[in-house]
């Protein structure tokens, strides 16, 4: 069967067009004048299409930057001297000179003041080991000999007190170096007739939003503590048998310690941190038994005094600053009272220690009954003259305490 050939015409295409819209009539009053339209068209500047489309358009020169004004050699030299300027100079191993800024000089203030009588003055580039040999080593030897000892770090906020006390893994401070010495002596003594056990406790005294003082145990399972007379009740003593255990315990405690960022210090301590190392030592003889000898080595890292203008603290931080400054003031009053009492034994020893938990806990040291050593951390920059001057004026008389 044959079929007819297919048709070659295209498929039909339908085009839809919208119906035309009728324009609204414009009122006669609003219709423009034809003469004005022609004049307006004549006044329009023709668009430079030919210039834009030409193969080589004109190049616009780039703007020339204005050269800065040259600085004089004197101004650049003054800037270098300003950066290198210092308000504190080390005279020798026992004295320093404090120089005031020219803007602070007046009739009542001299250009420079000399403070002497320090046990030892360390320059800025001193190593931690050098500080330890001069300051901490005698205390550790007394401790291993059965005597109590206390090391306190004082200074304005951000002056390096915590670094001096604790340091870092590459540059250990007073506490890690003391633990190394204690355990190296314990393992190398070789005395079969003596046994020693060491216990470590760590706590902080702080103020929460200015609502009184609180004591917190910094051990792993630490809780709030209380102070009765000069004894901490409820704190946890952890037995440490080697250096690794001691360092791990201290690291955990430092992570729990209250810190905050201020304009003066990005990691400012907001509490007074106390670390106690207690030695329970018992000597055994074939014929006689001696009672255990419990000596305590205490290390106190005090929060630095703060000025509101410099730290920029507000709200809760400002209340913490008030607590820190008040504790520093009471601590200084206790030392000053002890100095006056030693100069004149007939003068009664004022009991300023009752005004803060820190001084109540350190009562026997502040009454001169136990051995205490102070480390002063100072700033050297011109802009820190006020803080450095205040601390030197406050602490320099303490060097006369026996």
- As to burial, measured by CB atoms within 10 angstroms (0-12 exposed, 13-18 middle, 19+ buried), residue 149 is buried
Per-residue burial over 70-93, b = 16 or more CB atoms within 10 Å of its CB, e = otherwise:
eeeeeeeeeeeeeeeebbbeeeee
Please give the DSSP secondary-structure letter assigned to residue 136. I
Distance CA 91, CA 79 (A): 26
At 381, the pLDDT band (50, 70, 90 cuts) reads confident
**Cα–Cα distance for residue pair 380/85, rounded to 1 Å:** 9
- CA-wise closest residue to 273 among 298, 296, 245, 249: 298
Six-digit token string for 375: 């480390």
Mean pLDDT, residues 2-8 taken together: 48
Q: What is the pLDDT of residue 323?
A: 85
Q: Is 197 helix (H, G, I), strand (E, B) or coil?
A: strand
* pLDDT per position as a tens digit, 244-281: 999 999 999 999 988 877 777 777 788 899 999 999 87
Q: Please, what is the average pLDDT of the chain?
A: 79
> What is the pLDDT, as a whole number, of residue 211?
73
**Contacts (Cβ under 8 Å, ≥6 apart) of 326:** 356
Please choose, from the candidates 61, 60, 150, 49, the residue with its C-alpha nearest in 3D space to the C-alpha of residue 371: 150
CA distance 20 to 53: 38
- Spatial neighbors of 8 by CB under 8 A, at least 6 apart, are none
State the DSSP code for 133: I
pLDDT of res. 270? 80
pLDDT given for residue 212 in this prediction? 84
Please indicate if the annotation marks 207 as binding a ligand.
Answer: no
Q: Vertex 182, ends 270 and 285: CA angle to 5°?
A: 135
Q: What is the mean pLDDT of residues 335-350?
A: 90
Which two structure tokens, joined as six digits, stand for 15? 């085009």
Question: CB burial class (10 A; 0-12, 13-18, 19+) of residue 271?
Answer: buried
Average pLDDT of the residues in 341-367: 92
What lies within 8 Å, CB to CB, of 333 at 6+ separation is 350, 352, 355
Contact 213, 356 (CB under 8 A): yes
For residue 24, count other CB atoms closer than 10 A to its CB.
Answer: 6
Q: Check whether 222 is labelled as a binding-site residue.
A: no
Residue 161 assigned ligand-binding role:
yes
Per residue in 10-41, pLDDT tens?
555 444 445 555 655 555 555 555 555 555 55
Residue with token string 């301590």:
269
Q: At what angle do helices 174-188 and 137-144 cross, to 10 degrees?
A: 40
For residue 60, give both structure tokens.
């616009």
Query: Confidence class of residue 290 from pLDDT cuts 50, 70 and 90?
Result: very low
The pLDDT, as a whole number, for residue 287 is 46
Smallest CA-to-CA distance from 271 within 379, 157, 390, 371 is with 157
Q: Checking DSSP bridges between strand 224-228 and strand 231-233, what pairing results, if any?
A: antiparallel
Residues 290, 291, 292, 295: is their CA dihedral positive or negative? negative
* 62 CB-contact burial (10 Å; exposed 0-12 / middle 13-18 / buried 19+): exposed
pLDDT score at 386: 86
Q: How far apart are CA 98 and CA 94, in angstroms?
A: 14
Query: How much is the pLDDT for 235?
Result: 86
Q: Delimit the domains of the chain by residue range.
A: 84-400
Is 159 marked within a binding site?
Answer: yes
Q: Could you read off the pLDDT of 152-168 as tens digits, one per residue?
A: 999 888 889 999 999 99
State how far the alpha carbon of 317 is from the alpha carbons of 258, 269, 290, in Å: 12, 11, 51
> DSSP E strands: which ranges in 67-207?
88-92, 95-99, 112-116, 149-154, 167-168, 171-172, 194-207
Q: Is 156 one of the annotated binding-site residues?
A: yes
On whether the 84-400 domain is CATH 3.40.850.10, my answer is yes
Give the mean model confidence (pLDDT) for residues 198-225: 88
Q: Quote the pLDDT of residue 240.
A: 95
Residue positions counted in the chain = 402
The string of pLDDT tens digits covering residues 89-100 is: 999 999 999 998
The answer to whether the annotation marks 157 as part of a ligand binding site is yes
Q: What's the mean pLDDT in 346-351?
A: 87
pLDDT given at position 165: 96
Highest mean pLDDT among 4-13, 69-78, 103-112, 301-310: 301-310
Instruction: pLDDT band for 371, please (50, 70, 90 cuts).
Output: very high
Task: Show the tokens assigned to 341.
Answer: 């009492």
Give the separation between CA 145 and CA 165, rounded to whole angstroms.
22
Which H or E run includes 154?
A: strand 149-154
pLDDT higher than threshold 80 for residue 149: yes
The reported pLDDT for the residue numbered 338 is 93
CA 30 from centroid of its chain's CA atoms:
78
Instruction: Provide, rounded to the nearest whole percent, the portion of the chain with pLDDT above 90.
Output: 41
């Amino acid at each position: 069967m044959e079929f007819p050939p297919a048709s070659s015409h295209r498929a039909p295409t339908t085009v839809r067009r919208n119906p035309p819209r009728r324009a609204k009539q414009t009122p006669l009053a609003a219709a423009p004048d034809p003469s004005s339209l022609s004049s307006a068209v004549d006044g329009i500047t023709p668009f430079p299409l030919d210039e834009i489309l030409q193969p080589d358009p004109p190049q616009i020169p780039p703007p020339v930057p204005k050269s800065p004004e040259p600085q004089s050699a004197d101004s650049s030299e003054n800037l270098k001297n300003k950066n290198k300027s210092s308000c504190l100079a080390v005279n020798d191993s026992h004295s320093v000179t404090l120089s005031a800024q020219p803007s602070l000089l007046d009739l009542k203030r001299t250009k420079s003041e000399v403070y002497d009588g320090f046990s030892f003055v360390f320059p800025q580039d001193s190593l931690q080991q050098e500080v330890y040999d001069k300051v901490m080593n005698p205390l550790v030897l007394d401790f291993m000999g059965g005597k109590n000892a206390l090391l306190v770090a004082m200074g304005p906020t951000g002056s390096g007190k915590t670094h001096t006390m604790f340091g870092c893994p590459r540059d250990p401070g007073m506490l890690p170096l003391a633990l190394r010495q204690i355990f190296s002596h314990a393992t190398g003594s070789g005395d079969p007739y003596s046994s020693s056990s060491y216990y470590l406790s760590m706590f902080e005294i702080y103020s929460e939003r200015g609502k009184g003082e609180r004591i917190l145990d910094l051990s792993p399972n630490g809780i709030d503590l209380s102070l009765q007379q000069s004894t901490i009740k409820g704190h946890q003593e952890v037995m440490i048998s080697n250096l690794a255990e001691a360092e791990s315990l201290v690291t955990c405690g430092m992570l729990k310690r209250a810190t905050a960022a201020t304009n003066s210090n990005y990691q400012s301590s907001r509490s007074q941190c106390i670390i106690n190392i207690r030695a329970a030592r018992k000597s055994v003889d074939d014929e006689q038994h001696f009672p255990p000898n419990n000596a305590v080595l205490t290390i106190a890292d005090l929060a630095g005094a703060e000025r509101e203008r410099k730290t920029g603290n507000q709200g809760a931080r400002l209340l913490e600053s008030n607590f820190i400054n008040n504790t520093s003031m009471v601590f200084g009053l206790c030392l000053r009272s002890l100095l006056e009492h030693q100069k004149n034994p007939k003068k009664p020893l004022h009991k300023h220690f009752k005004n803060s938990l820190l001084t109540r806990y350190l009562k026997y040291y502040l009454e001169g009954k136990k051995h205490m050593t102070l480390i002063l951390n100072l700033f050297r920059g011109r802009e820190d003259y006020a803080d450095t001057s205040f601390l030197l004026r406050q602490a320099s008389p303490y060097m006369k305490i026996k």
